[in-house]
């Protein structure tokens, strides 16, 4: 169906179809919203690639303050403790809410959430789905929910090119489509565009994650924060494939070790060895590689024979490279993995530009500091999507009712498939 874009005037616009964007749209229901996604839903969002799951203090031996202590320690003194406290307290119920939306998390035979361990966590607190397929499963459930939500219009294959801003207030979004640009007038825009890994040669992110949200925000005059805070994951599969397949930290959580070509566990001198914070492990591996060694993950003993069952995505990537992870060493090296910096936001996800919010990897909330604790980012996205939606819902519409001459010159009945599976209000 093609639609007259005038019918969308004033609706909040969410740019990005990953977990942060879709969940914000769902939380906004029944308010009608428009979600713009450059690619078909789920096809390129880095969310769908997430192997690690969601960190939350759900175990009997755990609580949000222990989770906070690990987050602050990993963040190298640069986390915002107040926002971290708020997010980590909200994490357990945000995960429950995802279950309610239909996400099938891994559970014990008794039905409790199965809790995994990842580096720098003092407790088992990582919730996964399908072993190492957490992102896929969450996206499956959210896409299903979005497709059946009458309040959400999904616009796929259309890219936001520029935010229109007057007097530091958002007035709309210029979007490109196959024929000509369209102007979507709104006073409320949420950036949920993900990270920047596509800018790096060695990254575990989809190539399309190239900082689009940062560019939109920068051009709109929004304050950006800590852009130099880039996380390198220690264990990407070292081979020719780009993006590089990730070997989740959860594999080390299940006992795999890191060795060099002589079989030496050269990280043993570190406190917590292979499970030291991610930046520490990545730096130690990089130093060893720079000294002429080769570095491998050894999962032959642990997880051993259960490797493929526990980590089907990783086992399949290894098989593609001719490696049987239960029998062979897996060559690894660090690769760009996550951007802790981003568009500076307050506790409700508001940026310094009125009417502009940011959520997920594109945002800099202060939770991660200089080094994100494993699996805290999906948690941040699902918790903050709720707060962003509340803030957007409580904001005045702020939309202009009259178009400028430039906007009027543009065609406003667009054949570029502003398509909707839902009835347009």
How many residues make up the chain in this entry?
A: 425
Closest CB to ligand SIN among residues 12, 206:
206
How many helical (H) and strand (E) elements, i.e. helices and strands, does the chain have?
A: 11, 18
- Residue pair 37/43 in contact by the 8 Å Cβ criterion: no
* Maximum distance among all Cα pairs of the chain, rounded to whole angstroms: 71
**278, 300, 350, 372: which one is catalytic?**
278
Q: Which is nearer to ligand SIN, 36 or 382 (CB)?
A: 382
Q: What secondary structure does DSSP assign to 1-16, as a single string?
A: ---BGGGGTT--EEE-
Q: Which residue stretches of 266-347 are H helix?
A: 278-290, 307-310, 312-320
- Count other Cβ atoms within 10 Å, centred on residue 77: 9
**Cβ(280)–Cβ(76) under 8 Å?**
no
- Our CA dihedral for 120, 122, 127, 133, rounded to 10 degrees, sits at 30
Smallest gap, in angstroms, from Cβ of residue 15 to ligand SIN?
Answer: 23
> At closest approach, how far in Å is the CB of 288 from ligand SIN?
19
Least distance to ligand SIN, CB of residue 395, Å: 31
Count Cα atoms within 13 angstroms, Cβ side, for 104: 7
Q: Based on CB atoms, which residue is closest to ligand SIN, 186 or 231?
A: 231
By beta carbon distance, the residue nearest ligand SIN is 52
Give the residue with the Cβ less far from ligand SIN, 137 or 249. Answer: 249
Task: Give one word for 273, left, alpha or beta, with left for phi > 0 and alpha for psi -120 to 50.
Answer: left
Q: Is 278 a catalytic residue?
A: yes
Q: How far is the CB of 357 from ligand SIN (least distance, A)?
A: 23
State in angstroms the smallest separation of the CB of 130 from ligand SIN. Answer: 13
> Least distance (Å) from ligand SIN to the CB of residue 377?
6
Is 22 or 282 the residue whose CB approaches ligand SIN more closely?
A: 282
Pick the closer one to ligand SIN by CB: 351 or 375: 375
Q: Please give the residue ranges that form the binding site for ligand SIN (CB under 6 A).
A: 51-52, 248-250, 337-338, 374-375, 377
Nearest distance, CB of residue 250 and ligand SIN, angstroms: 5
Complex with ligand SIN: residue 314 or 392, whichever CB lies closer: 314
CA-CA distance, 301 to 307, in Å (whole number)? 10
Side-chain-facing half-sphere of 275: CA atoms under 13 Å: 18
Contact 197, 302 (CB under 8 A): no
Integer Cα distance of 81 and 72 in angstroms: 7
List Cα–Cα distances, 217 to 9, 11, 190, 354, in angstroms.
21, 19, 10, 12
Q: What residues are annotated to the active site?
A: 278
């Amino acid at each position: 169906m093609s639609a007259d874009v005038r019918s969308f005037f004033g609706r909040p616009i969410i740019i990005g179809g990953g977990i942060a964007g879709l969940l914000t749209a769902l939380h906004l229901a029944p308010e009608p919203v428009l979600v713009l996604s450059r690619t078909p839903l789920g096809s390129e969002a880095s969310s769908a690639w997430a192997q690690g799951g969601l960190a939350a203090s759900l175990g009997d031996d755990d609580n949000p303050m222990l989770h906070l202590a690990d987050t602050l320690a990993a963040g190298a003194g640069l986390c915002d403790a107040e926002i971290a406290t708020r997010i980590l307290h909200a994490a357990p119920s945000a995960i429950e809410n995802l279950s309610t939306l239909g996400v099938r998390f891994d559970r014990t035979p008794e039905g409790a959430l199965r809790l995994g361990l990842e580096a720098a966590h003092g407790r088992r607190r990582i919730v996964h789905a399908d072993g190492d397929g957490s992102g896929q499963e969450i996206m499956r459930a959210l896409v299903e929910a979005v497709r059946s939500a009458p309040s959400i219009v999904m616009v796929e294959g259309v890219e936001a090119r520029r935010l229109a801003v007057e007097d530091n207030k958002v007035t709309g979004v210029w979007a490109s489509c196959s024929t000509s640009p369209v102007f979507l007038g709104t006073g409320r825009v949420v950036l949920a565009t993900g990270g920047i890994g596509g800018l790096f040669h060695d990254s575990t992110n989809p190539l399309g994650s190239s900082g689009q949200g940062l560019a939109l925000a920068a051009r709109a005059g929004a304050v950006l924060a800590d852009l130099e805070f880039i996380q390198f994951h220690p264990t990407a599969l070292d081979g020719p494939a780009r993006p590089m397949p990730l070997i989740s930290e959860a594999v080390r959580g299940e006992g795999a070790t890191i060795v060099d070509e002589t079989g030496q566990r050269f990280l043993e001198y570190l406190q917590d060895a292979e499970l030291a914070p991610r930046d520490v492990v990545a730096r130690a591996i990089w130093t060893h590689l720079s000294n002429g060694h080769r570095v491998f993950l050894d999962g032959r003993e642990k997880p051993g024979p259960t490797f493929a069952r526990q980590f089907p995505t990783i086992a399949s990537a290894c098989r593609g490279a001719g490696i049987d992870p239960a029998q062979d060493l897996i060559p690894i090296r660090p690769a760009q993995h996550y951007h802790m910096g981003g568009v500076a936001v307050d506790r409700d996800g508001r940026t310094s530009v009125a009417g502009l919010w940011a959520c997920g990897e594109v945002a800099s909330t202060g939770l991660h500091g200089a080094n994100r604790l494993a699996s805290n980012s999906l948690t941040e996205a699902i918790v903050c999507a709720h707060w962003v939606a509340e803030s957007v819902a409580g904001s005045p519409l702020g939309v202009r009712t009259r178009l400028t001459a430039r906007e009027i010159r543009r065609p406003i009945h667009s054949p570029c498939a502003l398509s909707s599976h839902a009835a347009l209000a």
